[in-house]
Amino acid sequence: MVMETAGRPIRYNAGMSLPEPDSDALAASHALQHLIAAEIARHDGAIPFARFMELALYAPDLGYYSGGAAKLGEHGDFTTAPEISPLFGATLAHVAAAIMAQTAPRILEFGAGTGKLAFDILTEAASAGIVIEQYAIVELSGELRARQELALAAFAQVVWLDGFPDSFEGAVFGNEVLDAMPVSLVSKTPAGWCELDVGIADGRFVHIERLAGAEIAAQIAAQIPEAELLPVGYVTEIHGVACGFMRSLARMLTAGRGGAALLFDYGFPAHEYYLDLRATGTLMCHYRHHAHADPFYLPGLQDITAHVDFTAMAVAAQDAGLDVLAYMNQASFLLGAGIGELLMRSDPEQATTFLPQSIALQKLVSPAEMGELFKVLAVGHGVSLPDALSAADRSHRL
DSSP states of 241-274: HHHHHHHHHHHHHHTSS-EEEEEEEEEE-HHHHS
What dihedral angle (degrees, nearest 10) is formed by the CA atoms of 308, 309, 311, 315? -80
Note the pLDDT tens digit of each residue in 177-224.
Answer: 999 999 999 999 999 999 999 999 988 999 999 999 999 999 999 999
What band does 323 get if pLDDT is binned at 50, 70 and 90?
Answer: very high
- What single string gives the DSSP state of each residue in 121-145? HHHHHHHHT---SEEEEE---HHHH
d(CA 301, CA 22): 11
Given CATH 3.40.50.720, say whether it is the number of domain 81-177+241-264+316-397: no
**What integer pLDDT is reported at residue 227 of this predicted model?**
94
What average pLDDT does this structure show over 353-359? Answer: 92
Note the pLDDT tens digit of each residue in 211-224.
Answer: 999 999 999 999 99
Q: Where are the beta strands (DSSP E) in 162-301?
A: 170-175, 184-189, 192-201, 204-211, 235-238, 259-268, 284-287, 290-292
Percentage of the chain beyond pLDDT 90 is 84
The answer, yes or no, to whether residue 144 has pLDDT greater than 50, is: yes
Note the pLDDT tens digit of each residue in 226-255.
Answer: 999 999 999 999 999 999 999 999 999 999
What band does 11 get if pLDDT is binned at 50, 70 and 90?
Answer: very low
**What integer pLDDT is reported at residue 8 of this predicted model?**
38
The answer, yes or no, to whether residue 6 has pLDDT greater than 50, is: no
Domain ranges, ordered by start, for the chain: 2-74+181-239+274-305, 81-177+241-264+316-397
What average pLDDT does this structure show over 6-20? Answer: 55
The answer, yes or no, to whether residue 49 has pLDDT greater than 70, is: yes
Rounded to 5 degrees, φ, ψ at 293 are: -115, 15
CB environment 25-42: b (16+ within 10 A), e (fewer): bbebbbbbbbbbbeebbe
**What integer pLDDT is reported at residue 249 of this predicted model?**
98
The residue that leads in pLDDT, 106 or 6, is 106
**What integer pLDDT is reported at residue 9 of this predicted model?**
37
What band does 19 get if pLDDT is binned at 50, 70 and 90?
Answer: confident
For residue 174, the number of C-alpha atoms closer than 13 Å in the C-beta half-sphere is 23
**What integer pLDDT is reported at residue 237 of this predicted model?**
98
Report residue 107 CA to chain centroid gap.
18
What band does 69 get if pLDDT is binned at 50, 70 and 90?
Answer: low
Same fold? 2-74+181-239+274-305, 81-177+241-264+316-397: yes
d(CA 77, CA 286): 6
- What single string gives the DSSP state of each residue in 13-57? ---S--PPP-HHHHHHHHHHHHHHHHHHHHTTT-EEHHHHHHHHH
pTM reported for the whole predicted model: 0.92
Rounded to 5 degrees, φ, ψ at 377 are: -110, 125
The answer, yes or no, to whether residue 50 has pLDDT greater than 70, is: yes
The answer, yes or no, to whether residue 10 has pLDDT greater than 80, is: no
Pick the CATH number of 2-74+181-239+274-305 from 3.40.50.12710, 3.40.50.300, 3.90.550.10, 3.40.50.720: 3.40.50.12710
Q: What is the mean pLDDT of the chain?
A: 92
d(CA 190, CA 179): 30
The answer, yes or no, to whether residue 349 has pLDDT greater than 90, is: no
**What integer pLDDT is reported at residue 290 of this predicted model?**
85
**What integer pLDDT is reported at residue 289 of this predicted model?**
76
Closest to 159 measured CA to CA, from 98, 208, 200, 118: 118
d(CA 241, CA 63): 17
